[in-house]
Structure 1
Amino acid sequence: MSADNDTVLRLRSTLTESLPYCSGTLDVHSRDLVLYYGKGTQTRRIDLSVATTDELDALEKACEPAPFGRNDQTIFDDSYRKAGKMEIDEFMLGFDAERAGLIEVIRSSLFHGAEEEKFVRAELYKLNVYGKDAFFKPHTDTPRAENMFGSLVVVLPTPHEGGALILRHDQREWTFDSGALLSEPGATSRIAFASFFSDVEHEVTSVKTGYRLTITYNLYFSPTRIGYFGAPSSGLRVLQPTSANTPAVSDVLAALLADNSILSEGGALGFGLQHQYPLPKSWIDGDSNPLEALQGWLKGGDAALFSACKDLGLKPQLYLVYENDNYEPILPILLKQAIEVSEYDMENDSVTDVILRQWGGLVMLYHSLFSDSVPEKVCDDGKRRKYLQRLEDTYGYGYRVKETAGLPSKTVHMVTEMTTFNELKSTMVVDMGNEAGLCHMYKYVCLIVDVGPAGKRSEMRPEN
């Protein structure tokens, strides 16, 4: 397989370049911009379309300092985040994202095809006020449930300069400047919005003048349709839809499968997931088998790929890739379920033996579709590049030598590199005879799809 195969490269770029957010503006009715806030009998009213500086000053003073989450802790640190916040029981706003049709816009922008039919629930979270010199340094949002996939930030039409939202993902960066959008003519009855996946790093730059006033929603996948989903008004302007290149996934994947020079005798295509997911802690202990549930949480290019595979009659499968870091040659093992090997006897068994024998695992034989040699980068950090080199040094190209002979295995031709976005780490005790030691087991999520030979791609091949 040559490194310059256009079809493979097109599929890879289509998956990795899909935007992880959408943004835009929406004209709303003046009644939607009336804000009531306060505690007890001390309630105030502001019409945000014509709010005065004194009214916004009073609103800021009524707020409490906004915290942020770090390692499951809530922290107050105005050198990292300087802003005010109100809880949802302290304010009431006429605008509602579902009633305004904004959730429908986000769903159609962030998802594609069959994935666009997913039910989405928006949960109002907080009101935030960023006054002069307020900011929020780079961070990612902490998912509040396994089915939480993203956030929605609605910027209300209070004049401000600065306070831009900077979004970053996979070494790319975008800027959403709400101050500029809301300073356009006729913007006094207009909101600006940005919605992004939970693994997108973001920050709010320092506000230079005015007030940046926002309400935020947490976005969840829902098993049923909840609430009223209206149609957006004619004043909707979507600036950055993520669906711009995800519809191409089906077309490019179909073109790849139509190329008889690619896996002419059939094989398995592998894809590293491009997004991070709130994996259950039970995965670490092997108490559950959540891979099937994870299929419903996929987003962006991951969701588009899964949907495209099914549309083409293929059966995509999520696997956990297990590997350990000490005491024996490292072999990546594929499993369709979460397990835990807490301890083993080094003199009689290896971790590889235990997983293969007891849990039906498969040794993952890694190949690349981009070249005839093992790629330098199988993943996105130095640790796994070193890991790849150790595998190559131990087993040679493709790891196809006598050490793997007779072991149940699966050759996987990787289209996108395996990522460590969804890494889980657990520790086990190793009995080495004279003493006990510790070794770490790492788990990664990978999407693999078996394809048949040229002309019969949808035919399943047996595990090899």
Structure 2
Amino acid sequence: MLLRGGDSEKSIKAQLYKLNVYGPGSFFKAHVDTPRGDNMFGSLVVVLPTKHEGGSLVFRHRGQECVFDTAAAVSSEATPHGAFVAFFSDVEHEVLEVKSGYRVTLTYNLYFVDHPKQSVNLGVAPAAGDPLLDVASAMSELLATPSVLPKGGLLAFRLWHKYPITPSKTILSDVSKCLKGADKRLKEACTSLSLKTSLKILYKYQEKSDLDVEVACLFDSYETGFAKHSHVDGLIYGLLYRYKGKCTLTYDFPEEYPDVDLNDRLIKYTKPVLWFNASKNEQRINQFQTKYMAYGNEAQLDTIYHDLYLVVEVQPFEERAESTA
């Protein structure tokens, strides 16, 4: 279920985008919807009661697939009636070939809007067996383990969904109020444990330099110049001055602090991190790129989908133990 009641600070606006008529032989290849602003989160497709065969909508996300049979949905009863489906806009989908008749749909873009008359919560009702049902207790148990970040550090969860970012104006703290599905439930679990969270964009320092370690940095905003430094002094200068207070240099826990001649002032910006929901390669998915990506139903150069991380600040174990004593 895409929508459920709750305590969100946002309301929802549906804006008509397009009328689509698919005749015999028509189809639409797999794509994700073009983001039309950083407040767009999903799409609504209304299927009008026209008789047709084929034309099913197929959805794919993170290895899962489901099919919405539009032909069966509008012909399952004796009297004509429509049908609808709503989905998050970063979910890949395609329209299979129409075999006969005409498949007619209205597509609406779904946006968050401020100052709701009636609050809504863009979560997903958890199903039985959903591991996120126990995420709060699992996280509590993790933080009660002395060997986990004993001197403090970060937990970094790669979010399940991608989110639209407009580089010139998007504020990540605003995006945190618009999380979707499992991402929202994860943040709620952290809040229930009184953990401080924030959204970050991950960048990797890719250029060849005299650094012997992989440098990854969690930023508070979309940046365009992180990878331009050609040597370690330039990187240190950037982190200390250009990006001061906007980024955190990381190293993978339980590895030791990188044995490299970094400026002493840089140490306070460097923290150990435990990564979740990502393989070693996927942790680096937001390597710096200057080009914008184009999406399936229309090219867009202003707003792009981005992978984000929910970052949890973890206190040293002694402080954690005192707070739960």
TM-score (norm 1): 0.55
Partners of 2:13 and 2:91 lie apart in 1 by 19
1:157-189 Cα deviation digits (max 9, x unpaired): 222210000111123221111112333234x34
Q: Which residue of 1 aligns with 2:105?
A: 214
Partners of 2:71 and 2:186 lie apart in 1 by 36
Equivalent runs, 1:29-48 vs 2, <5 Å:
none
Partners of 2:70 and 2:321 lie apart in 1 by 47
Q: Which residue of 2 aligns with 1:80?
A: none
Q: Which residue of 1 aligns with 2:193?
A: 312
User: Which residue of the other structure, out of 185, 205, 215, is the alignment partner of 2:96?
Assistant: 205
Q: Which residue of 2 aligns with 1:426?
A: 290
Q: Which residue of 2 aligns with 1:12?
A: none
Instruction: Check whether the contact 2:52–2:100 (CA below 8 A) recurs between aligned residues.
Output: yes
CA root-mean-square deviation: 3.5
Instruction: Check whether the contact 2:158–2:307 (CA below 8 A) recurs between aligned residues.
Output: no
User: Which residue of the other structure, out of 133, 137, 140, is the alignment partner of 1:254?
Assistant: 137
SS at match of 1:308: helix
SS at match of 2:135: helix
Partners of 1:365 and 1:124 lie apart in 2 by 46
| Closer/same/farther in 2, CA of residues 419 and 191 from structure 1, 3 Å limit | farther
Q: Which residue of 2 aligns with 1:354?
A: 238
1:308-328 Cα deviation digits (max 9, x unpaired): 212321111112323232232
**Alignment of 1:277 onto 2:163:** yes
**What are structure 2's unaligned runs of at least 5 residues?**
292-305
Q: Which residue of 2 aligns with 1:263?
A: 148
Percent identity (aligned): 36
| C-alpha deviation, 1:352, in angstroms | 3.7
Partners of 1:145 and 1:449 lie apart in 2 by 27
SS at match of 1:320: strand
**Alignment of 1:223 onto 2:114:** yes
1:128-184 Cα deviation digits (max 9, x unpaired): 211211111111111111100110111122222100001111232211111123332
| Closer/same/farther in 2, CA of residues 342 and 310 from structure 1, 3 Å limit | closer
Partners of 1:454 and 1:245 lie apart in 2 by 36
Partners of 1:448 and 1:343 lie apart in 2 by 22
Instruction: Check whether the contact 1:107–1:120 (CA below 8 A) recurs between aligned residues.
Output: no
Larger radius of gyration: 1
Partners of 1:278 and 1:335 lie apart in 2 by 16
Partners of 1:322 and 1:422 lie apart in 2 by 5
Q: Which residue of 2 aligns with 1:148?
A: 40
The structure, 1 or 2, with the larger RCO (C-alpha pairs under 8 Å, 6+ apart) is 2
| C-alpha deviation, 1:332, in angstroms | 1.1
SS at match of 1:314: coil
1:386-444 Cα deviation digits (max 9, x unpaired): xxxxxxxxxxx5663244684421111112215577665239xxxxxxxxxxxxxxx96
TM-score (norm 2): 0.75
| Closer/same/farther in 2, CA of residues 184 and 307 from structure 1, 3 Å limit | same
Partners of 1:303 and 1:221 lie apart in 2 by 15
User: Which residue of the other structure, out of 70, 76, 84, is the alignment partner of 1:184?
Assistant: 76
| Closer/same/farther in 2, CA of residues 243 and 457 from structure 1, 3 Å limit | farther
| C-alpha deviation, 1:297, in angstroms | 3.0
Partners of 2:64 and 2:108 lie apart in 1 by 24
Partners of 1:450 and 1:350 lie apart in 2 by 28
**Alignment of 1:410 onto 2:264:** no
1:31-50 Cα deviation digits (max 9, x unpaired): xxxxxxxxxxxxxxxxxxxx
Instruction: Check whether the contact 2:32–2:91 (CA below 8 A) recurs between aligned residues.
Output: yes
**Alignment of 1:336 onto 2:220:** yes
Instruction: Check whether the contact 1:150–1:196 (CA below 8 A) recurs between aligned residues.
Output: yes
Instruction: Check whether the contact 2:207–2:230 (CA below 8 A) recurs between aligned residues.
Output: no
1:312-370 Cα deviation digits (max 9, x unpaired): 21111112323232232341123334445489785793224421344334321123xxx
Amino acid at match of 2:220: K
Aligned length: 290
SS at match of 2:173: helix
Greater shift, 348-357 or 270-279, is seen at 348-357
Q: Which residue of 2 aligns with 1:57?
A: none
User: Which residue of the other structure, out of 31, 39, 42, is the alignment partner of 1:139?
Assistant: 31
**Alignment of 1:446 onto 2:309:** yes
Instruction: Check whether the contact 2:28–2:94 (CA below 8 A) recurs between aligned residues.
Output: yes
Q: Which residue of 2 aligns with 1:366?
A: 252
Instruction: Check whether the contact 1:257–1:454 (CA below 8 A) recurs between aligned residues.
Output: no
Greater shift, 209-218 or 410-419, is seen at 410-419
Amino acid at match of 1:336: D
Q: Which residue of 1 aligns with 2:126?
A: 244
Q: Which residue of 1 aligns with 2:3?
A: 107
Partners of 1:257 and 1:136 lie apart in 2 by 46
Partners of 1:342 and 1:267 lie apart in 2 by 22
Instruction: Check whether the contact 2:54–2:96 (CA below 8 A) recurs between aligned residues.
Output: yes
Partners of 1:137 and 1:343 lie apart in 2 by 35
| Closer/same/farther in 2, CA of residues 421 and 194 from structure 1, 3 Å limit | farther
| Closer/same/farther in 2, CA of residues 398 and 446 from structure 1, 3 Å limit | farther
